[in-house]
Structure 1
Amino acid sequence: MFYKIETSINNKIIGQYPQIQDAELPAGWENNLRFTQNILFKKVDFEPIAPKGILHKKAKLTDLLSTVPPGFTPKLLVSNSFKIILEEFEEELFQYFPCDVLSKNVPYKYWLASPLMTKLDNVDFKLSDVEVRKSKPEGGTYLERVQVSTLNEFNDYLQAQGILSWKTTISRVEVKNNVKDNIFVLTNVDGGVGYYVSETFKNAVEYHGLTGIEFMPSNMTFVEWLHGGSREKIYGKA
């Protein structure tokens, strides 16, 4: 069984969702190649510029923090305890950038886990659901199923979409039976980039009592998870 890491939405645990709603950003961050928002799927040999996250006054510090401002997404903002577990399971998957989180003007040390590679070849496309969001002539959008059965077919479809390839998502991820990775990263999933983990990884996080983390079964859609009752049974109401 594989799971997609989601940030907690249970306010009893996190206090307020999202926890980081504001940040101190460097001037001209949009075009600054050293700013963390502009670093993704590549290893850098310089010290990046990270935002300073400002914890919402009602929010609590957890081992995984939910974020909104530029510079954080689609990376994971993790505590040192969570960073240690990530490194124990996969040393080469992330590059870690130090990132302060301010709570009542007191800085707390966190890390931005910046992914270096994807593993779309872990997906069983024959069993997964792929959808593309299209526009209606009268306004609004709808989702249309895309028929692909291999990674090559999926890549060919994305290439044909060009700059609109972001509209195509794997909404239901079935992981191949022979996958040995305990954690891997996928693009073109709900949220753009997703972090998928094994039962072994999930058990380790829960054993160490890390907070702010929820595990959604990879073969569920986000809508099913959020509104179908499964999430609430495990993690409680939002």
Structure 2
Amino acid sequence: MTGVAAEVRAAIDAAADPEVAAALGRYFQVRPGGYGEGDVFAGVQLSRLRELVAPWRRVPFAAEDWLPLLTSPVHEHRLAALVVMAERAGRSGDAELDRICRCYLDHTAYVDNWDLVDVSAAKVLGRWLLDRDRTPLYDLTGSGSLWERRIAVVATHQLIRHGQTEDTYRLAVRLIGDREDLIHKAVGWMLREAGKHVDPAELLGFLDAYAADLPRTTLRYAIEHLPREVRRAYLAR
């Protein structure tokens, strides 16, 4: 283990709180049959974790420093690595961004809960794809892993921020039959963002075509910012 990984792990262990760990375990469903089954929490909230890793957000990313944490069985270790990767991706040049994202794509098996996905997918993968071929999104969407599918959807948030919505809508169609509620929520969230921040008419056109087929949760998320009477009309479908 490198000095960076050892220092970050020691800082997390020092800040760990068993009561917080128990609460986080319940919230992220580590129980048998839960979506986070088997995960291990040290007991550090995200806000505190961001404070702990702040010194390393200014240090260029080296995979050997962060892989021991990214592949750790402890949730907060993985989260710490992903927070730093996301922060570095937002301020790095092309070469460093490429290193970060290739490391990310090689280790998506460890990005295995919704908070880990949501803190990293748009800032790392989404930023990397802004001027690149979008094939990785469609590869991930076809994965048997709930978390890889969610990575693909949430990554488009960065594209939406740059006025690019085509992939959001295409992924939404591909995932209409998905059985996972956490995918339904992510798709609806991105549809809502596309309509709110880019083109409301484009969202309405999509809903006119697909509202009757969308999972109920997806539809409810997608229409949150529409006028009340419009929401009622789409829900009635």
Q: Assess same fold via TM > 0.5.
A: no
Structure with the larger helix share? 2
TM-score, L = length of structure 2: 0.26
The TM-score with structure 1 as length reference comes to 0.26
- In terms of fraction of residues, the more strand-rich structure is 1
